[in-house]
């Protein structure tokens, strides 16, 4: 990925972590909800912190590091200065991401008219949060990927993507059951290059092809 890289994704998760309840009362209600559900707020916040700790230390300024090490960054309601510093970091992060998004979108618009119609559909009807069911190479220069889109924004059913005229293919070691996150697309001679950021684990898929087609394999789940 040229724009939506591993580090871009990691920092986006950190940004989500650095959102705090609006008021102390909101925080107390969240703690009470956990207790009412038989859940340990302390354990859940500790586990979440441990899961992201490496990336928090990597991407957040040193001001936040003591609270990461002692666990108070998400186990207590933040002081006003802390909230202000967090808001400043988020604002700076969002400004950087807007520049990145704008640059990629400008590049995409500059090549859109040269892309096959279904390649444009791949980008503009996002497959974000779909899950790979299977993939196959049924013939020379043909790749098929079947996705479960029941949790995605579009389709809400199983679909088959068939890439034809494939001249380049880079796959993670295990593609089945991986989550389709974000895509980038580039024009190449006689076709396009699709790059996909996948999760579980974080990986990248690259396909260079002349064309791609869609086939819906079931009825949309919301019609059931």
pLDDT in tens, 171-204: 998 888 999 999 999 999 889 999 999 998 999 9
Q: Residue 200: its pLDDT value, please?
A: 87
pLDDT at 219 over 80: no
Instruction: Kindly report, residue by residue over 64-110, the tens digit of the pLDDT.
Output: 999 999 999 999 999 999 999 999 999 999 999 999 999 999 999 99
> Phi and psi of 219, rounded to 5°?
-75, 145
pLDDT at 159 over 70: yes
Q: Residue 224: its pLDDT value, please?
A: 41
Other CB atoms within a 10 A radius of the CB of residue 136 amount to 12
pLDDT at 221 over 90: no
Torsion, CA 41, CA 44, CA 49, CA 50, rounded to 10 = 140
Q: What is the mean pLDDT of residues 112-129?
A: 94
Instruction: Kindly report, residue by residue over 43-58, the tens digit of the pLDDT.
Output: 999 999 999 999 999 9
Q: Residue 174: its pLDDT value, please?
A: 85
pTM of the model: 0.89
pLDDT at 139 over 90: yes
Strand order, beta sheet including 179-188: 168-170, 203-209, 191-199, 179-188, 130-139, 142-148, 158-164, 211-216
Closest by alpha carbon to 74, among 93, 54, 43, 46? 46
pLDDT at 222 over 70: no
How far is it, in rounded angstroms, from Cα 56 to Cα 200?
19
Closest by alpha carbon to 184, among 36, 2, 29? 2
Q: Residue 11: its pLDDT value, please?
A: 98
The H helix count followed by the E strand count for the chain is 7, 8
Report percent pLDDT > 70 for the chain.
Answer: 98
Residues facing residue 158 across a β-bridge: 148
Instruction: Kindly report, residue by residue over 20-38, the tens digit of the pLDDT.
Output: 999 999 999 999 999 999 9
Q: What is the mean pLDDT of residues 159-167?
A: 97
How far is it, in rounded angstroms, from Cα 6 to Cα 15?
14
Q: Residue 190: its pLDDT value, please?
A: 85
Residues facing residue 159 across a β-bridge: 147, 216
How far is it, in rounded angstroms, from Cα 102 to Cα 181?
19
> Mean pLDDT for the chain?
94
Two structure tokens written together for 84? 């202000």
Q: Residue 166: its pLDDT value, please?
A: 97
């Amino acid at each position: 990925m040229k724009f939506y890289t591993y580090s871009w994704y990691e920092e986006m998760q950190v940004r989500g972590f650095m959102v705090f309840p609006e008021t102390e009362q909101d925080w107390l209600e969240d703690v009470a909800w956990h207790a009412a559900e038989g859940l340990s707020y302390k354990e859940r916040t500790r586990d979440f912190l441990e899961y992201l700790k490496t990336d928090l230390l990597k991407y957040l300024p040193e001001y936040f590091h003591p609270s990461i090490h002692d666990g108070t960054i998400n186990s207590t309601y933040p002081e006003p200065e802390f909230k202000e510093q967090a808001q400043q970091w988020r604002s700076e992060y969002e400004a950087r991401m807007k520049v990145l998004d704008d640059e990629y979108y400008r590049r995409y618009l500059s090549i859109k008219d040269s892309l096959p119609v279904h390649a444009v559909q791949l980008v503009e009807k996002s497959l974000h949060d779909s899950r790979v069911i299977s993939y196959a190479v049924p013939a020379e220069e043909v790749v098929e990927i079947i996705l479960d889109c029941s949790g995605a924004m579009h389709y809400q059913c199983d679909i088959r993507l068939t890439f034809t005229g494939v001249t380049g293919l880079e796959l993670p070691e295990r593609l089945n059951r991986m989550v389709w996150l974000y895509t980038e697309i580039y024009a190449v001679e006689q076709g396009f290059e699709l790059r996909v950021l996948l999760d579980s684990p974080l990986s990248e898929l690259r396909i260079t092809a002349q064309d791609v087609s869609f086939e819906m394999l079931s009825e949309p789940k919301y019609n059931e």
